[in-house]
């Protein structure tokens, strides 16, 4: 069973870059079965799909991020990452990595526990 674990700084200063890593266990980041996604949840709010990366390296980022997001993969470490540049207080959120393991793409049945990122000086 695929398990995901987010890691990264809990505090980022405004205008700097938010960097998060998702470590995958129980499955290979090289698998052509899964899309590896990032989703965030603003405090007390709903869920926002940020983007994904496929094993081939192809990526998608939500246009709402205005090209600030980069998603990449480190096959040697079985990890994928999110970098979000020029952050503001509006980027304060709980960040999840997630994937679909059930064979139904784009329905997220495996999630990390989430990591809270606060943007503040």
Query: Is residue 60 a contact residue for other proteins (CB under 8 A)?
Result: yes
DSSP string, 2-55: -EEEEE--SEE-TTS-EEEEEEEESS-TT-TT-EEEEEEE-TTS-EEEEEEEET
Q: Residue 28: CB partners within 8 Å, gap ≥ 6?
A: 78
Query: Is residue 45 a contact residue for other proteins (CB under 8 A)?
Result: yes
Query: Is residue 63 a contact residue for other proteins (CB under 8 A)?
Result: yes
Answer for which of 48, 55, 78, 83 binds other proteins (CB under 8 A) is 48
Query: Is residue 112 a contact residue for other proteins (CB under 8 A)?
Result: yes
Binding site for other proteins (CB under 8 A): 45-49, 60, 62-64, 96, 98, 102, 104-109, 111-114
């Amino acid at each position: 069973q695929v398990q995901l674990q987010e890691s990264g700084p809990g505090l980022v200063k405004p205008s700097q870059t938010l960097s998060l890593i998702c470590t995958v266990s129980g499955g290979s980041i090289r698998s052509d079965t899964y899309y590896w996604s990032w989703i965030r949840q603003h405090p007390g709010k709903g869920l926002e799909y940020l983007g994904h990366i496929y094993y081939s390296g192809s990526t998608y980022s939500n246009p709402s991020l205005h090209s600030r997001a980069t998603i990449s993969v480190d096959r040697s470490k079985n990890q994928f990452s999110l970098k979000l540049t020029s952050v503001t207080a509006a980027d304060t959120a709980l960040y999840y990595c997630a994937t679909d393991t059930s064979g139904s793409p784009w329905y997220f049945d495996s999630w990390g526990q989430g990591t809270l990122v606060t943007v503040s000086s």
